[in-house]
């Protein structure tokens, strides 16, 4: 029987209210048991319920392609530096889909299209290596290496001498009034003792070499990419011809060429790290050393000239650049096993007390970093405010221990009455678990997302990215503290008598610790090299005394975050702060912290400064440890030598807070700090 007639019967039965199963039985009993099935009738009934009574078959065929190969080809050719992930974001498909289409484009040519043939390079071609130093004002100095020789430390030292002479002639203000920043890579000749002595002699600040990725072409940087384009199609029969062409290239650059390239370089850092990473340019003078090899054909050769980059370099320098290279400047002393020693004259000279930081001691290198990046600049408050990028009015305070978090939690509780929002906190745990398994992270994210707006939730826990679970992102805040002062505070906090009295009241079966452990002071613990006070780089030490890693609360739940004082954990923590946190306050500067919180998150912190200072005495006594003895500056400095990346992260958060404050165009009043015993 024809299908159209069967479908008409289905339509008739549907209009008369017969069920799909009964309709199938009726049809099969009259015609044949295999005419139709209950599932087929159900499918047609579902179509009829939508109001569509068309009995014709649906159009069949391959599904419509989301990616057009022609469009993809044009996109790739317009910017060959794009990778598959970037293309997938543009076309709204998966990375694998892009790779599949790229394979199709590479395998098949148009009907009348011939494959491109590239002539084989003459293996006997000569090459000429040139080293170039340039700044935002232009080329400072360049030098062609003689044939048969290579750049070694002694030659590089002579080049530096010549470069500094040229720099004094062309930019005397840069040499006389500020510290030039030299950027070169970490090749052996650049790290040789002879070179380092020269850099110290010239008072050049060394900018750590930027990261690079294998998918970035060697000529993907500003200077040599343009030189490559300039030399296309040119042939050279002698060294002089190459040198003249190189000089012609320099002379042909328009005004602003170098400063434009300098300002565009943060994108190169961005490609090498993470997408959507916010970069901000910083107005600093940079001397960038570039070294390239110009290859040219011998008289009997043919083809175009080639460029080969010997060193991967970059001129970018901004806020994130500082965050990535800060350790190079801060780590004046390498992280070593803490052992008892008397401070040398060099150490005593290198340590200086900053009276504005409540007596906290920093090395001169750390102090210089803090001062250099506090220079005034034009700031965009919208770029520094992540509050507007959140999805809901839910504040998540994943508080770090011993940073005054109890004080801020009480402040939020009082503000909840004044500003009319719901205040929620995690209950006291027998064992505080701050790193969660994925299923526990999901449960936490779901719970926080279930709170009605506006709400606050407070918990000791590592940073949890709600968007990874397709849940709305809350407003993240946190507080940081000088890492050495914080670890000392924690050491004595878990030994305070009232701490165990409170714990015993909540958990009566909790065993008491060894009395000898309770009596042990911090200085003895450090000088004897006890495991609890042995802060070794890369060490993973889980336990009640292991709250050395302030970065852990920002890095996240990954195992890569657990090794102490590592660059990987540091960069993850910085990335989380930049991308997700609205405000990260600093305990040592309560006034600036409260001002930024009030202006960046007014829904929750409106009036916070008034509430805090109206009752400042009660706030500063919260969780205050009167049993904490003083610790000598020598021991603090000894410990600080192993907290290099923790100190860098603290300075990074501090710098970000001050940038947010400067963007408000407000003047912070000097309010005495009252948290020395937290």
Q: Which residues are catalytic?
A: 460
First to last CA, the chain: 88
DSSP notation for 133-148: EEETTEEEEEEEPPTT
Residue 649 to residue 227: CA distance in whole angstroms: 39
Whether the Cβ atoms of residue 601 and residue 395 lie closer than 8 Å to each other: yes
Which residues is 455 bridged to in the sheet?
Answer: 394, 422
Residue 293 to residue 313: CA distance in whole angstroms: 14
Output the CA angle 260-264-268, nearest 5 degrees.
Answer: 145
- Token pair 């909790």 is at which residue? 510
Output the CA angle 416-421-423, nearest 5 degrees.
Answer: 65
DSSP notation for 106-118: HH---TTPPPP--
Q: Which two tokens stand for residue 274?
A: 């993470």
Strand 455-458 vs strand 422-425: parallel, antiparallel, or unpaired? parallel
Whether the Cβ atoms of residue 353 and residue 361 lie closer than 8 Å to each other: yes
Output the CA angle 211-213-219, nearest 5 degrees.
Answer: 95
Indicate the length of the chain as a whole number.
678
- Token pair 């076309």 is at which residue? 91
Which residues is 397 bridged to in the sheet?
Answer: 458, 477
Whether the Cβ atoms of residue 434 and residue 462 lie closer than 8 Å to each other: yes
Whether the Cβ atoms of residue 364 and residue 558 lie closer than 8 Å to each other: no
Residue 330 to residue 323: CA distance in whole angstroms: 11
- Contacts of 144-147 spanning 24+ positions with Cβ under 8 A: 144/239, 144/243, 147/239
What φ, ψ does residue 143 adopt, rounded to 5°?
-145, 130
Whether the Cβ atoms of residue 564 and residue 456 lie closer than 8 Å to each other: no
Q: Which of 541, 651, 532 is nearest to 588 (CA)?
A: 651
Q: Is 672 exposed, middle or buried (0-12, 13-18, 19+ CB in 10 A)?
A: exposed
Residue 637 to residue 343: CA distance in whole angstroms: 9
Output the CA angle 557-565-676, nearest 5 degrees.
Answer: 95
């Amino acid at each position: 029987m024809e299908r159209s007639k069967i479908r008409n019967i289905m339509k008739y039965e549907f209009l008369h209210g017969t069920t799909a199963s009964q309709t199938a039985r009726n049809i099969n009993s009259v015609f044949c048991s295999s005419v139709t099935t209950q599932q087929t009738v159900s499918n047609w009934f579902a179509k009829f319920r939508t109001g569509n009574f068309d009995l014709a078959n649906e159009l069949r065929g391959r599904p419509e392609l989301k990616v057009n190969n022609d469009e993809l080809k044009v996109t790739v050719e317009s910017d060959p530096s794009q990778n598959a992930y970037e293309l997938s974001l543009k076309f709204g498909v998966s990375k694998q889909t892009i790779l599949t289409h790229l394979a199709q484009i590479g395998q098949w040519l148009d009907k009348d299209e011939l494959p491109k043939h590239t002539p084989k390079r003459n293996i006997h071609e000569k090459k000429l290596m040139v080293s170039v130093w340039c700044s935002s004002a232009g080329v400072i100095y360049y030098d062609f290496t003689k044939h048969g020789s290579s750049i070694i430390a002694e030659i590089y030292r002579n080049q530096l001498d010549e470069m500094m002479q040229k720099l004094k002639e062309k930019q005397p203000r840069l040499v006389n009034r500020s510290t030039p920043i030299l950027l070169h890579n970490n090749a052996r000749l650049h790290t040789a003792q002879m070179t380092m002595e020269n850099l110290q002699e010239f008072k050049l600040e060394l900018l750590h070499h930027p990261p690079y990725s294998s998918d970035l072409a060697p000529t993907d940087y500003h200077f040599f990419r343009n030189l490559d384009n300039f030399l296309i199609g040119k042939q050279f029969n002698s060294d002089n011809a190459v040198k003249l062409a190189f000089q012609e290239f320099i002379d042909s650059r328009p005004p602003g060429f170098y400063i434009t390239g300098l300002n565009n370089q943060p994108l190169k850092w961005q490609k090498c790290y993470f997408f959507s990473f916010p970069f901000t340019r910083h107005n600093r003078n940079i001397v960038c050393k570039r070294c390239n090899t110009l290859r040219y054909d011998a008289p009997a050769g043919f083809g175009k000239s080639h460029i080969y980059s010997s060193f991967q370099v970059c001129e970018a320098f901004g806020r994130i650049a500082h965050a990535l290279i800060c350790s190079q400047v801060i780590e004046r002393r390498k992280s070593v096993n803490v052992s008892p020693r008397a401070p040398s004259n060099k150490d005593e000279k290198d340590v200086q007390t900053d009276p504005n930081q409540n007596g906290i001691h920093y090395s001169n290198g750390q102090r210089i970093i803090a001062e250099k990046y506090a220079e005034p600049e034009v700031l965009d408050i919208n770029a520094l405010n992540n509050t507007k990028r959140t999805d809901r009015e839910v504040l998540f305070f994943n508080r770090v221990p011993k940073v005054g978090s109890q004080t801020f939690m009480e402040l939020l509780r009082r503000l909840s009455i004044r500003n009319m929002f719901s205040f929620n906190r995690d209950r006291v745990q027998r064992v505080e678990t701050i790193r969660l398994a994925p299923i526990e992270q999901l449960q936490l994210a779901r719970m926080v997302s279930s709170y009605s707006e506006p709400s606050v939730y407070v918990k000791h826990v590592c940073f949890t990215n709600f968007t990874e679970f397709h849940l709305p992102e809350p407003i993240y805040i946190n507080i940081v503290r000088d890492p050495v002062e914080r670890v000392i505070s924690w050491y004595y906090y878990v030994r305070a008598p009232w701490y165990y009295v409170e714990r015993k009241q909540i958990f009566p079966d909790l065993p008491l610790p060894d009395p000898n452990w309770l009596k042990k002071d911090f200085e003895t613990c450090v000088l004897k090299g006890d495991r609890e006070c042995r802060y070794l780089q890369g060490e993973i030490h889980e336990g009640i005394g292991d709250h050395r890693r302030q970065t852990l609360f920002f890095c996240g739940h990954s195992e890569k975050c657990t090794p102490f004082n590592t660059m990987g954990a540091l960069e993850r923590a910085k990335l989380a702060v930049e991308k997700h946190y609205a405000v990260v306050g600093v305990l040592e500067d309560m006034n600036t912290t409260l001002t930024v919180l009030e202006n960046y998150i007014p829904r929750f912190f409106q009036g916070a400064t008034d509430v805090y200072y109206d009752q400042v005495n009660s706030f500063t006594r919260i969780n205050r440890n009167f049993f904490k003895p003083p610790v000598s500056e020598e021991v603090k400095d000894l410990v600080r030598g192993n907290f290099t990346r923790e100190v860098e992260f603290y300075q990074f958060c501090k710098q970000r807070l001050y940038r947010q404050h400067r963007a408000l165009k407000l003047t912070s009043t000097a309010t005495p700090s009252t948290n020395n015993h937290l």
